[in-house]
Structures are given as structure tokens and as C-alpha cells.
Structure 1
Amino acid sequence: MSMVLLAVGIAALLLLRVPVAFALLGPCLTYVSLEGYSAGLSVRQATEAVNSFPLLAVPLFILVGVVANRAGIADRMFDFALAAIGRVRGSLGYVNIGVSLGFSWMSGSALADAAGLGKVEVPAMVRNGYPKRFAVGVTAASSLLGPIMPPSIPAVVYAGIAGVSTGALFAASVVPAFLMASGLAATVFLWARRQSGLRGEAFSWSRLRGTGLRVLGPLGTPVIILGGILGGLFTPTEAAAVGAAYVLVLGAAYRRITWRDLFGIARETAATTASITLIVGASGLLAWILARERVPHRVSEALLGLTDEPVVLLLLINLLMILLGAVLEGISVLVITVPILLPIATEVGIDPMHFGVVVIMNLMIGLLTPPIGAVLYVLSPVTRTPVHEVFRGALPFLLPLLAVLLLVTFVPATVTYLPGLLGL
């Protein structure tokens, strides 16, 4: 009964639009108090949840994304992609996906990508005759590449919880990210075939050369971050620090970042980091309560009582994660569910990296799903589009994303091949 009341309390606060961290903390602190435990225990459990070395990389990767946005790197990538394939029918749809894929090497947040790229891409598409609903839809869907393609903030959090190598998990996410981008591009292709009125731009070698030179600097960022991690030169935290310093130098060289901007950059990074840290801490307290009430044991018995087939279990977890991702913030779902579900998954022979990528993909798809759908609520004010119109635009792109999710679920090699090839 106490768990039912706890769940009802959390759900009620979320429906009242209370921030996720406080919606978790309120009922959890009430439970701790009623059970006779001290407030110090709550502080200790929350502190232990965030006392993880891999999580040190989170604020640095957030800093990389914030600086990249301020430095105008997205604009440079957009110009280059448009110069390369501008004459293709539906080119701005492909450009949208390509820029999100390229920018995802520097930013591990879907919300940051949606906010930063949406300001550039949606107006450009509308000016060139694309329906606004399609423009916001493809922008919303392509922003999900950010948390899948490394460096990924959810991947860093998962690695810290599951005790797996962050570098190996980064490598495991590359093929699924490219598969998602390919699925989105196929959807754009099928849509563009029916749009005879869309005309491309004339191709120019000089324009391609000029815009190509402007993206050479930004392309060094993923080389430094991922090359350093996969090559064994840096830990993920060190690579994030070096990458942040590199992007800051780029921003200064492009005269887009000055000394005056540093305070704003630090404030935005600190605010985002604080919100994630609060969620992780509150989720850690909730995880302790669930463990005390033997919820993981009961869930394990229930799931294993239904099936011990790895694929069937993953399908059940897919369904659960999409439902949770639609109503809860992704990081909190990771912190709460992974300690419960990962032991069950490993018991039936599911690779922890495969499990991690599948869970993260589910939660990112949840960002496009009402009623919470955080990407929908970010793009709505940025593009001045009602939330329901953003969702209607994104709806056709959910189909290829779900198809790729099923492919990754049924074919573990899509996740495990690259880490094995790199010896991670």
C-alpha cells in the first residue's frame, strides 16, 4: 500500500506540472519521515547517487553543446550541407537530418539540439516552401540523434549506473544512430516524391568549397572527443574537458564568443547540470525506497514468470520504457529502472551494452510522445507552433524510429559489432 501511495503522489505532482526532481523528492521524503528514518539518510542516499566519477563528464559535455550553439557551428554546418545537396528535391529535409547528425557529435542533448537547430532550420524550410508542420516534425525527430550518437549524456548516466565502459557504450551507439538517421532520410524521400512544387538550388563548386572550409574547424571536435576516448588517449571526462576548451577557442576565433559571453555560458551549463543532478539525486532516493520494499525482486519474479526469452523480455521492456518515457524525464527513468531491470536482463543473457542502447532509444522516442514529450514543448515556443501541431508533424517520423528500435532489439550485432571491432 505504501508503494501505491508513493506512486499516486508522484503521478499527481507530475500531472500538476511540478518539476520532476521535486515531484520525486516530495513523496520520497514523506515516506522516509513516516517510516521513522532521519533526514540525514535521505541526504546520504541522494548524495551517493550523484557521487559517481563517470557523471563528472555530464557538465563538460553540456558545456560543449552550449558553446557549440553560441559559436554558430550549427549555422556553418547547415550552410555546408545545403551547398552539398541543395539541388536535390526535398534537400532541406535531408539537410535538417544531416546537420542534426553532425551536431550530435558535439551535443548529447535532444532538447539543446531542438532549441538551437530549430531556430535555424524551421524558418529556412518555411521560407523555401516547406509546410511548417513537416519542418517542425523533421526537426523534432532528428533532434533525437543527439542523445544516441556519442557523446551522449544519457549514455554517460547509464554507464555510471550499470558499471560499463563509457567509451564502449559510445561505440555501441554509433550504428543505431546512423540507422535512425537513415530511417528519417527514407521518410523524407517518400514525402518529397509527392512534392512536385519543391525546387532545389543550383549547385556551385565555389559555394561548396567556401562552406566546406568553414566547417573544418568544427569537424575537429568529434575527432578530439571520440578519437581521444576510443584511442585510449583520454577518459570520457578528460575528452569532454579538452573538447569544451577546443570549442571555446573556435568560438573566440569566429568572434561569436567574447569574455562577456562566458558568464552566460557558465550559467546555462550550471542550470542544466543542476537540473540533471537534482533528478539523479531524487531518483537515487526513490531507488533506495524501492529496494527497501523489495520492488526489484518482485518485478524480477513477475517478468521471469512471464518469459525467460531475451527477445520477448526486451520487447516487454521496450513497451514499459516508451510508456515511462512519455510521462517522465529520461534521466530519472534511467536512474530508477536500470538497477531493477539490468540484473533481470543479464540473467537471461542480454548484453548490458545492448540493453543500455535499447533503453536509451526507447526513452528518446518518449521525448516525442505526449503528454510530456519534452522536445515538443521545447520546439513549440522556439518555432511559435502549437504543441499539437509539432506532434502531428513528428508523428510520421515515429514510424521509422520504432522500426529501427525493433531492428536493434532483434539484432544485437547492430550494437555489439563496433565495440568488438575496436576491442572495447
Structure 2
Amino acid sequence: MTLYLVIGVCLLVLLALRVPVALAMIIASILTLLVDGTVPMIVIPQRLWGGLESFPLLAIPFFVFAGVLMNHGGGAEAIFQFFLTLLGHIRGGLAYVNVMASVVFAGMSGAATADAAGLGAIEIEAMKKSGYRPEFAAAVTAASSTIGPIVPPSVPLIVYGVMAQVSVGELFIAGIVPGLLMGVAIMVVIAIVLRKEKHPVEGRSSVGDIASSFLGSFWALLAPVVILGGIFSGVFTPTEAGAVAALYALILGVIYGGIRWHNIGAMVVEALLTTAQVTFIVAAASLFGWVLTRYGFPRFVADMLLSITADKHTALLLIGLAMLLAGCFIDALSLLIMMTPVVVPIALAFGIDLTQMGVVLVLACMIGLNTPPVGICLYIVSDLARVPMMAVAREMIPFYLALFVTLILISLVPLLTTYLPSVIKF
């Protein structure tokens, strides 16, 4: 118990002092080992390095690079323009286009921040020009960006799969139904909110215009088909899919004219900075998780949960709620990496499917990306829309409820995440 207090208090104090999460985990782990005094310090660099010795992690820089290329290369705008032609004549059509474009873009980048910062800039500007309230446009964009890490491919699911030793391919398949449910839930909220608001609609596009727009965006729309089709058919592994996605996005950028030799270097640097941040957190979490496991902290938490409930679905929901609360104060990916070593043994103790657990954890963390005070996507969209962050957060309330209902559903109904992986085998 003394060591639990040491690592817990140290971590909380460091986070309160705004020390980066990765450094906070490393410092708390080192201090705990020093207090124990029985573990040689050579273990620290071994565990830090050991956390990165995993082949699936190679997919992360490629998917990050693919998202950067799609945003700068014109692929994201092509996707948006096609759905605008298809749905622009519907009342509130631009809001629905926002969601649909995010679902398709998710099949390429796998990152919420890439969706919010790249595609979101296009969506918010278009909605503002059409008379939508800026805070509503920002809220829709923020909500739809959470779909990206659930619909495959997904960077957070790759990280979880590596740390929990779960098949990344199965996790990708498990995210399909929850991702679609999220899209439907968000669009239901849009329909309810816009009943009281009148927005201009685009003229109905002719069949020729739709066909022309489809042909213009065909290669961008085909990207998820190529990537996911290749994964599910066994042509390449989920890890290799990252390289395929990056190459495809590069070709798209050349086709749409958004990529030139002189700006590729800046895109590479942008992707490398994001990748370095992720891998550093993964290494820190490897050490942190090993320390927690060595001193039996996951078993301690599992016993506490068992004293509250013996039902695995209730336990999973409680874990999801705890992640939601923590997500208000800790960056989403950092929280996922930090908590995975804690919750996986709990899941095993309760008999919870680790694939279902992964989708629940990632969804809870993605909701955290849009909750104040540290929600990154919330800051991104409020900056793009030029409105106060708290104004966007207030507009997000019905979307929070929709996403929370989705979280409850996938926590209480395992088939939503486990059925497809049981049918589609690699």
C-alpha cells in the first residue's frame, strides 16, 4: 500500500504541475523503484526500450504520414465535395456531409486530431459560409472527429493491441459497427437540433453533377476500400497497411495537385513529430505498467471492482466511466497507454473480451478529446471556428449524450464488437 501511495501521489502531483504525462510516468516509476530498493536501476532503460520492440508499432508513423498527406494533398477536400454534391440539397445537409466525410476519411488516417485539423478546417469554413452558427459547426466537427480512431484503421487501436497483446486486425474489424453507430447517433442529434433552426440548402445537383463529382473524388473515396480490403482479404497485414496508406495518400496528393516536391519535407517533419510523441509515451507506459504489475496494482483494483459488482458488463461500464472522467484532465492517447496495463488484468479477472475492452477504452478516450479543460480536438475546432472553447463545449452537450449512449451500448452488448471478428478470420 505504501508503494501504491508513492506512485499515485507522485503521478498526481506531477500532472497537477503540468509535467508531460510520459515524463510523469517515468519519474513516478523511478521513485517507486527507489523506495522499494530491491530492483536494479538497469531495469528502467530495459523496460523503456522493450516497450518499443513490437512490429505492429511500425504502422503508426505510416498512418500518421498518410493523414498528413491526405490533409495537404487535396484528398480530404475531394471527399467533402462529393458528399456535398450528394447531400447538399437536404435541410442541414452540410452537417450530415461533415459526418459522412469523417467516416470515409477515418478509413485513411485513423486519428481524430488529423480529422479535426485537416478535414475540419474545410467543413467548418463551408458551414459558416452557409449560415450555420460557428459554435454548432465546430461542435459537429469535433463530434464527428471521434469516429476516426474507431473506424479502421486506427492508431489508438494499434497501440492498445500492442500493449494488450490482442490482434490488431481483430480490433480493426471490431471497430466497424461501433464507428457506424457513432455516425448514426451524431446525425440523429443533428436532425433534432436543426429542427428549430432554418438553414439555406444547396440546389439539388443533377445526375451529371453527381457523376462528375464522384469521378473527381473516386480515387480518394477508394482509399478505405483499398486499405481495408487489403487487410481483410489477407493481401497485407494491418502493419503493412500503414505503408500502403502512406503510398496511396502520396499518389493521391500528386493526382489532386496538393503535393509538390518542395513541401514534402515539411509534411515528413509534421508526421515525425507526432510519431515521436506517441512512441515516447508508449515507452514510458511500458515502464509504468511493469511497475504497477510488479506490485500487484491491477489485482488490487480488480478486487475493489469485484467488491462492487460481479457482473462483467457493469464492470466494463464502470471502467469506461472512469476513463471518461480521467479524460477530462489527461490527453486521450496518454490516458489509453497509461491505463491499458491496469485494465487488461482486470478484464481477464472478470472474463471481459479484450477486443471489446479495447473499443470501449478507445471510445472513452476519444470522447475525452472533446471535453474541457484539456480536450485537444475542442481547442482545434474552436480555433478554426474562431469561437470560445466553452461555447463549443456547451454546443457539444447533446453530442456528448449521443456518444455516451453509444459507449453504454458497446459496453453492455458484446456482440456489437465481437460478432464481426468471430466471422471474419485472418
The TM-score, its normalising length taken from structure 1, stands at: 0.95
- Please give the secondary structure, in 1, of the residue aligned with 2:42: helix
1: CA distance, partners of 2:6 / 2:372:
24
Q: How many angstroms apart in 2 are the aligned matches of 1:318 and 1:266?
A: 35
Distance in 2 between the 1:380 and 1:134 partners? 10
The equivalent of 2:7 in structure 1 is 6
CA 1:185–1:45: 2 relative to 1, 3 Å? same
Q: C-alpha offsets along residues 34-71 of structure 1, whole Å, 9 cap, x if unaligned?
A: 54455532111111112111111111111111111111
Shift in Å, 1:118: 2.1
Mapping of residues 9-408 of structure 1, within 5 Å: 9-36=10-37, 39-408=41-410
What's the offset of the Cα at 1:314?
1.2
CA distance 1:211–1:197, shift in 2 (3 Å): closer
User: The residue matched to 1:270 in structure 2 has which SS?
Assistant: helix
Q: Decide whether aligned partners of structure 1 residues 27 and 338 sit closer, same or farther in structure 2, where only a CA change above 3 A counts.
A: closer
Mapped to 1, the partners of 2:221 and 2:120 lie a distance apart of 21
204-213 or 165-174, larger mean C-alpha shift: 204-213
CA offsets per residue over residues 166-193 of structure 1, 9 Å max, x none? 1111011000000000000011111122
Distance 2:309 2:320 in 1: 15
Offset from partner CA, 1:325-358 (integer Å, 9 cap, x none): 2222233333332233223323333211111111
Superposed CA offset, 1:55-104 (max 9, x none): 11111111111111111111111111111011100011101101111110
SS at match of 1:223: helix
Residues 32 and 42 of structure 1 are in contact (CA less than 8 Å); yes or no, is this contact kept in structure 2?
no
User: Is the contact between residue 132 and residue 199 of structure 2 (CA under 8 Å) also seen in structure 1?
Assistant: no
8 A contact 1:154–1:331 mirrored in 2: yes
Question: Mean Cα displacement is larger for which, 360-369 or 201-210?
Answer: 201-210
Asked if structure 2 preserves the Cα contact closer than 8 Å seen for 1:287 and 1:336, the reply is: yes
Could you tell me which amino acid in structure 2 is paired with residue 178 of structure 1?
L
Contact 1:176 1:404 in 2 (8 A): yes
Q: Distance in 1 between matches of 2:410 and 2:293?
A: 30
Which range is displaced more, 37-46 or 143-152? Answer: 37-46
Alpha-carbon shift at residue 33 of structure 1 (Å): 4.3
SS at match of 2:196: coil
CA contact (8 A) 1:137 1:395 kept: no
After the TM superposition, which of the residue ranges 186-195 and 347-356 deviates more from structure 2?
347-356
- Any conservation in 2 of the 1:224–1:239 contact (CA below 8 Å)? no
In the TM superposition, residue 370 of structure 1 has moved relative to its aligned partner by 1.9
Helix, strand or coil at the partner of 1:343: helix
Partners of 1:71 and 1:244 in 2: how far apart?
Answer: 12
The reply to whether residue 423 of structure 1 matches residue 422 of structure 2 is: no
Q: Which range moved further: 292-301 or 133-142?
A: 292-301
Is contact 1:70–1:256 with CA below 8 Å preserved after alignment? yes
1:178 to 1:197, Cα distance in 2 relative to 1, 3 A: closer
Once structures 1 and 2 are overlaid, which stretch shifts more, 133-142 or 354-363? 354-363
| CA positional deviation for 1:248 | 0.6
Q: Say what the alpha-carbon RMSD is for the aligned residues.
A: 1.7
Q: Deviations over 1:134-155 (max 9, x none)?
A: 1000000000011111100111
Residues 78 and 164 of structure 1: CA distance in aligned 2, closer, same or farther (over 3 Å): same
Give yes or no for contact 2:149–2:366 (8 Å, CA) kept in 1: yes
Distance in 2 (CA, whole Å) between partners of 1:196 and 1:269 is: 40
Residue-pair matches, total: 424
How far residue 300 of structure 1 moved from its aligned partner, in angstroms, is: 1.8
- 1:30 and 1:377 mapped to 2: Cα distance? 34
Return closer, same or farther for 1:197/1:390 CA change in 2, 3 Å cut-off. Answer: closer
Structure 2: stretches of 5+ with no match in the other structure: none
**For 1:9 and 1:344, how far apart are their aligned partners in 2?**
23
Cα distance in 2 for partners of 1:98, 1:8 equals 44
Distance in 2 between residues matched to 1:409 and 1:299, nearest whole Å: 19
**In structure 2, distance between residues paired with 1:361 and 1:338:** 13
Counterpart CA distance in 2 for 1:119 and 1:208 is 23
The one-letter code of the counterpart of 1:10 is L
Q: Distance in 1 between matches of 2:125 and 2:194?
A: 18
CA separation in 1, counterparts of 2:402 and 2:145? 14
Q: Which runs of 5+ in 1 are unaligned?
A: none
Shift of 1:265: 1.5
1:202-223 deviation per Cα after TM superposition (whole angstroms, max 9, x unaligned) = 3233321221111111122212
Q: Distance in 2 between matches of 1:79 and 1:418?
A: 31
Alignment-mate amino acid for residue 233 of structure 1: V
Distance 1:197 1:227, change over 3 A: closer
Q: 1:311 touches 1:409 (CA, 8 Å); kept in 2?
A: yes
**Larger CA deviation: 259-268 vs 149-158:** 259-268
Q: Deviations over 1:85-138 (max 9, x none)?
A: 111000111011011111100111111111112211112111111111110000
Check whether the contact 2:317–2:412 (CA below 8 A) recurs between aligned residues: no
CA distance in 2, matches of 1:319, 1:243: 34
